[in-house]
Amino acid sequence: MLARMKQMMKKEFIQVLRDKRTRFILIIPPIVQMLVFGYAANFEVHHVPTVVLDYDHSQESRDLLSHFTASSYFSVQPPAVDATQLHAVIERGGAAVGIEIDAGFARALRKGQPAPLQVIVDATNSNSALIAAGYVSQIANGFAQQYQRERMARIAPQWVAILPSVDLASRPWYNPDLLSRWFFVPGIVGSLTLVLVITLTAFAVVREREIGTLEQIMVTPIRPAEFILSKTLPFFLIGLFDVSLIAVVGSLWFQVHFRGHISVLVLGAVLFLLCMLGVGLLISTVSATQQQAMVTSFFFIMPAITFSGFGFPISTMPYWLQLMTYASPLRYFLVVLRGSYLKGVGMEVLWPEMAAMAALGLGLLTVAILRFHKSLD
């Protein structure tokens, strides 16, 4: 048995390594995709194009606009001359934020009354619009508080020292600089691993069937169980290599520090790879050609990434979709990755995710092997 499996595994490794294109696909694309996604997947908003329309032309309005100009969140463009021009700039995409200061802005501030300030935000991208509107609110509130204290210092300086205030001490845990890249890089490790292992496993078996070598192999003394093990074990080892490669590149290039135990991460990767091997085998049983395998793979890959919490919080999904996310192994692997990388937690915290991946992997492999036996018969 071991001798037959050894020869089959040797054949698989030779077939993979002698193909220049396959060697290239296993190493270069994962690194390139890690670098591209690591920079592109980003929720941070900086240098938002901003156009200003100032009807007041006062010292106070210019002071407010200087706060926006000094901020790295906004890139203030030449001012508009009227509302028509401001709206036109936003409509054609020249600016994402428009700030309109009405006449009487300074007069209202000097009287201690609410000062009118209109903010127009291009909400085509609702996430960026929400973040930009939050930055505008922070700057406007900061300006109002500063102006109020300066006004109080001129009118009643003895009251300034006893004005009530709240001193907010913010302490972000696990990601002190609030870098969204630290959140996305571990997620990219899991997503790329999912795509690579599923496509490699499904395509390899389907390729054997498509070119006719599967029937030739099955007339040899090798048993179906030995064939399945020797066919999937090489891709398990290749997947483990790719996980390590992507994780090392992501950690070193983007300076995402690993705080956990390497044994916990390896165990999580092993369980996740078993799940993906089961999915790849299952796809191979329902596909007769490589084109069918590719289409079927995307039918699983896209929902799996969407339901994993990679880019969208699971808690914001409808309840019935949240229930569906429990069937995605990537959901649990991302918790293991982010928990190991950012929080440094161990098995005492991550054991539910490990157990879920073990159960899913066992179930997927069992169903896939049974269907594979049936397809061979």
Strand order in the sheet with 74-76: 74-76, 48-54, 97-101, 117-121
Task: List pLDDT tens digits, range 217-251.
Answer: 666 666 666 667 777 788 888 888 888 888 888 88
**How far apart are the C-alpha atoms of 84 and 80, rounded to whole Å?**
9
Amino acid at residue number 272: F
Length, in residues, of the chain: 377
R_g of the chain, CA atoms, integer Å: 29
Among candidate residues 66, 36, 35, 248, the one with its CA nearest the CA of residue 147: 66
The whole-number pLDDT of residue 132 equals 87
Amino acid at residue number 79: P
Topology classification of domain 48-160: abc type-2 transporter like fold (3.40.1710)
**How far apart are the C-alpha atoms of 229 and 249, rounded to whole Å?**
30
Among candidate residues 47, 46, 45, 53, the one with its CA nearest the CA of residue 119: 53
The whole-number pLDDT of residue 332 equals 94
The whole-number pLDDT of residue 3 equals 64
Strand 117-121 with 48-54, pairing: unpaired
CB neighbour list of residue 199: distance below 8 Å, 6 or more residues apart: 280, 293, 294, 297
Task: List pLDDT tens digits, range 59-69.
Answer: 888 898 888 88
The whole-number pLDDT of residue 283 equals 87
For residue 213, pLDDT beyond 80: no
For residue 158, pLDDT beyond 70: no
CB neighbour list of residue 14: distance below 8 Å, 6 or more residues apart: none
Decide if 282 contacts 197 (C-beta within 8 A): no
For residue 97, pLDDT beyond 80: yes
The whole-number pLDDT of residue 333 equals 94
β-partners of residue 119 are 99
**DSSP assignment of 131-170:** HHHHHHHHHHHHHHHHHHHHHHHHH-HHHHTT--------
Question: At 329, phi and psi to the nearest 5?
Answer: -60, -30
Question: For residue 50, how many other CB atoms are within 10 A of its CB?
Answer: 24
Task: List pLDDT tens digits, range 274-318.
Answer: 999 888 888 887 777 778 888 888 888 888 888 888 877 888 888
- % of the chain residues with pLDDT over 70: 85
CA dihedral 170→171→172→174, nearest 10 degrees, is 180
Comparing 176 with 198, which gets the higher pLDDT? 198
Q: What mean pLDDT, rounded, does the chain reach?
A: 82
Question: For residue 57, how many other CB atoms are within 10 A of its CB?
Answer: 11
Amino acid at residue number 175: N
Comparing 175 with 190, which gets the higher pLDDT? 190
The whole-number pLDDT of residue 147 equals 79
The whole-number pLDDT of residue 335 equals 92
Domain boundaries, the chain: 2-42+179-376, 48-160
The whole-number pLDDT of residue 5 equals 61
**How far apart are the C-alpha atoms of 166 and 164, rounded to whole Å?**
7
Among candidate residues 297, 284, 271, 263, the one with its CA nearest the CA of residue 362: 271
Question: For residue 349, how many other CB atoms are within 10 A of its CB?
Answer: 16
The whole-number pLDDT of residue 224 equals 63
Q: Which helix (H) or strand (E) holds 205?
A: helix 180-211
Among candidate residues 85, 73, 329, the one with its CA nearest the CA of residue 197: 329
Among candidate residues 266, 243, 246, the one with its CA nearest the CA of residue 256: 246
Top-confidence range, 11-15, 193-197, 226-230, 289-293: 193-197
Stretch 141-153: mean pLDDT: 79
The whole-number pLDDT of residue 311 equals 78
- Candidate from 31-45, 251-265, 266-280, 335-349 with smallest mean pLDDT: 31-45
For residue 95, pLDDT beyond 70: yes
> What are the start-end ranges of the E strands in 37-164?
48-54, 74-76, 97-101, 117-121
Comparing 160 with 206, which gets the higher pLDDT? 206
Task: List pLDDT tens digits, range 124-140.
Answer: 877 788 888 888 888 88
Q: What is the pTM of this model?
A: 0.79
Decide if 365 contacts 271 (C-beta within 8 A): no
